[in-house]
């Protein structure tokens, strides 16, 4: 619920700190870059020092730096500098946080655990920006205080109440989760499917991001001044949908593999954007966003479940850090690509390209699932 700063970051840098849009965009990219650097380094540190320890320390330092920003909220130099520092440490805690969820669950309940975590995250994220919107203009310092205090409160709960079982006593681990020796690159070399999986998830994330990249531009193109208002309504609608449909989708896909569920996500993205392209009316946008939100839920939950189930417990943090960073690096040029496609080929071609990428990813996940099923059958035949 402390998601106060990131939704308003560019507005903060321009309207409050006086930067031009170009400089503000560069500074926002710098904050994103330090976050990615932190998440890349945090994976290795969390496997060496412990997932809970790195998460608590990273979030704690990040929270304190954000609170400090509240005392210098009108400084155009200190605020960006300390935001970079804060989000470096918050990024450092990210792979440790993901790995900790995997540590505290097992194969049979991980799907439910991660879907509950995602549900709570979205519920808080739906409330946070609304609160921040009321604070932004007249009480700007509380954007930083609120974000920092929320992070501090959350991490103190984890530090005090969450008990992690020692790795040597871990139970209910599958064979794929057993600890191994070697570097993260050795593990990835032995399990190349993780890299292919990350590439396909990157394609789905590219499709997902068009809900907030291409969609607002398209809505303004179609509906003029009403477009931004409609986009705000759709974003609120999507947040509510995610909270309502997550338990239902988890129930419907409980008997499906993660790769098949992600193939469904690709098809839902393709169908949602097809509706937007063919029938650009307001009611059809709301129907389309039902499918897009369902695809978002499946992507955001099943990706984490698959990585946890297919990563050795000794390398969970490093695999999370490396693969999530690689996926985000692949996504960074997407802003330029979408802008280029819209400017040079128009919205119809752009939507066709997004639909094609979604279908390609769905086919890739289907073949991954078929290959895994074939390997499992060979193992059963060998030992039967």
The CATH number of the domain where 140 resides is what?
1.20.1250.20
146 within 8 A of 135, measured Cβ to Cβ: yes
Please report the pLDDT score of residue 334 as a whole number: 76
In this prediction, residue 173 carries a pLDDT of 58
Distances (CA, A) of 185 to 189, 192, 238, 317: 6, 10, 38, 13
Helix, coil or strand: residue 163: coil
Assign 65 a pLDDT band (cuts: 50, 70, 90). very high
Q: Does residue 262 carry a pLDDT above 60?
A: yes
At residue 291, does pLDDT exceed 90? yes
Same domain membership, residue 167 and residue 195: no
Q: Does residue 226 sit in the same domain as residue 298?
A: yes
Question: Residue 381's pLDDT is what?
Answer: 46
pLDDT tens by residue, 137-170: 888 899 899 999 999 999 999 999 988 766 544 5
Rounded CA-CA distance 326/198 in Å is 8
Do residue 144 and residue 212 come from a single domain? no
Domain assignment present for residue 178? The answer is: no
What is the dihedral angle through the alpha carbons of 87, 89, 95, 101, rounded to the nearest 10 degrees?
-100
Q: Does position 10 have pLDDT exceeding 80, yes or no?
A: no
Residue 355 lies in a domain: yes
Whether 115 and 239 share a structural domain? no
Same domain, 90 and 225: no
Q: How many domains does the chain have?
A: 2
Question: Across residues 261-290, what is the average pLDDT?
Answer: 93
pLDDT (0 to 100) of residue 376: 46
Same domain, 120 and 192: no
Q: Are 355 and 266 in contact (CB under 8 A)?
A: no
Given a cut of 80, whether residue 82 has pLDDT beyond it is yes
**84-130 pLDDT per residue, tens:** 999 999 999 988 888 888 888 887 788 788 888 888 887 787 777 77
Classify residue 180: in a domain, yes or no. Answer: no
Is 177 inside any structural domain? no
The arithmetic mean of pLDDT across residues 271-291, rounded, is 93
On whether residue 108 sits in a domain, the answer given is yes
Lowest mean pLDDT among 48-57, 169-178, 256-265, 339-348: 169-178
- Whether residue 215 is contained in a domain is answered as yes
Interval 203-220 mean pLDDT: 85
Span 1-27, average pLDDT? 79
Residue 179 pLDDT exceeds 80: no
Same domain, 283 and 151: no
- Per-residue pLDDT, averaged over 323-349, amounts to 81
Whether the CB-CB separation of 277 and 383 falls below 8 Å is answered with no
| pLDDT the model gives residue 172 | 56
What pLDDT score was predicted for residue 267? 96
Cβ–Cβ under 8 Å, residues 357 and 206: yes
pLDDT given for residue 378 in this prediction = 42
Give CA–CA dist 234/313, Å, rounded: 39
Same domain, 151 and 276: no
Q: Report the sign of the C-alpha dihedral through residues 318, 32, 193, 257, in that order.
A: positive
Question: Is residue 364, in this structure, part of any structural domain at all?
Answer: yes
- Taking alpha carbons only, the member of 292, 312, 254, 223 closest to residue 115 is 254
Domain boundary among 123, 143, 172: 172
Q: Which of 172, 207, 240 is the last residue of a domain?
A: 172
* Percent of the chain residues topping a pLDDT of 90: 32
Q: Is residue 77 part of a domain?
A: yes
Confidence of residue 379 (pLDDT cuts 50, 70, 90): very low
pLDDT (0 to 100) of residue 157: 93
Do 297 and 377 share a domain, yes or no? yes
Contacts of 285 (CB under 8 A, 6+ apart): 219, 230, 234, 276
Look at residue 200 and tell me whether its pLDDT is greater than 60. yes
Last residue of a domain, one of 124, 143, 172: 172
Mark whether 127 and 211 lie in a shared domain.
no
In this structure, of 248-257, 334-343, 354-363, the range with the lowest mean pLDDT score is: 334-343
| 3-class DSSP assignment, residue 74 | coil
What the block records as the tokens of 338 is 């979408």
Q: 202 with 333, same domain? A: yes
Q: Do 145 and 204 reside in the same domain of the chain?
A: no
Range of the domain at 347: 187-383
Residue 313 has a pLDDT of 78
Mean pLDDT, the chain, as a whole number?
84
Q: Which pLDDT score is estimated for 383?
A: 34
Q: Provide the pLDDT for residue 312.
A: 83
Query: Band of the pLDDT at 20, cuts 50, 70, 90?
Result: confident
């Amino acid at each position: 619920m402390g998601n106060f700063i990131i939704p308003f970051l560019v507005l903060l840098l321009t309207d409050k700190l006086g930067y031009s849009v170009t400089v503000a965009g560069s500074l926002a990219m710098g904050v994103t870059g330090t976050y990615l650097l932190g998440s890349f380094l945090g994976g290795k540190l969390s496997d060496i020092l412990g997932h809970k320890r790195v998460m608590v320390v990273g979030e704690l330092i990040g929270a304190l730096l954000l609170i400090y920003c509240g005392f210098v909220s009108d400084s155009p130099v200190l605020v960006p500098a300390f935001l970079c520092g804060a989000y470096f440490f918050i990024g450092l805690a990210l792979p440790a946080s993901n790995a900790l969820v995997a540590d505290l669950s097992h194969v049979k309940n991980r799907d439910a655990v991660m879907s509950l975590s995602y549900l709570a995250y979205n519920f808080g994220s739906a409330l946070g920006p609304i609160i921040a919107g009321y604070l932004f203009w007249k009480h700007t310092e509380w954007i930083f205080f609120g974000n920092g205090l929320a992070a501090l409160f959350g991490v103190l709960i984890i530090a005090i109440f969450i008990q992690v079982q020692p790795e040597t006593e871990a139970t209910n681990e599958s064979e794929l989760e057993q600890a191994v020796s070697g570097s993260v690159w050795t593990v990835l070399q032995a399990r190349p499917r993780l890299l292919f999986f990350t590439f396909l998830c990157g394609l789905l994330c590219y499709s997902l991001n068009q809900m907030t990249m291409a969609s607002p531009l398209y809505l303004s193109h179609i509906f003029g001044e009403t477009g931004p208002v409609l986009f705000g309504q759709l974003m609120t609608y999507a947040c509510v949908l995610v909270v309502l449909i997550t338990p239902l989708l988890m129930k419907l896909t409980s008997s499906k593999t993660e790769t098949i569920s992600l193939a469904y996500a690709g098809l839902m993205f393709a169908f949602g954007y097809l509706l937007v392209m063919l029938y650009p009316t307001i009611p059809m946008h709301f129907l389309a966003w039902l499918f897009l939100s369902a695809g978002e839920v499946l992507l955001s939950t099943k990706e984490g479940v698959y990585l946890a189930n297919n990563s050795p417990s000794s390398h969970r943090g490093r695999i999370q850090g490396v693969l999530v960073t690689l996926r985000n690096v692949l996504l960074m040029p997407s802003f330029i690509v979408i802008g280029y496609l819209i400017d040079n080929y128009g919205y119809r071609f752009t939507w066709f390209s997004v639909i094609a990428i979604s279908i390609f990813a769905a086919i890739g996940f289907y073949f991954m699932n078929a290959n895994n099923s074939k390997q499992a059958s060979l193992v059963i035949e060998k030992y039967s």
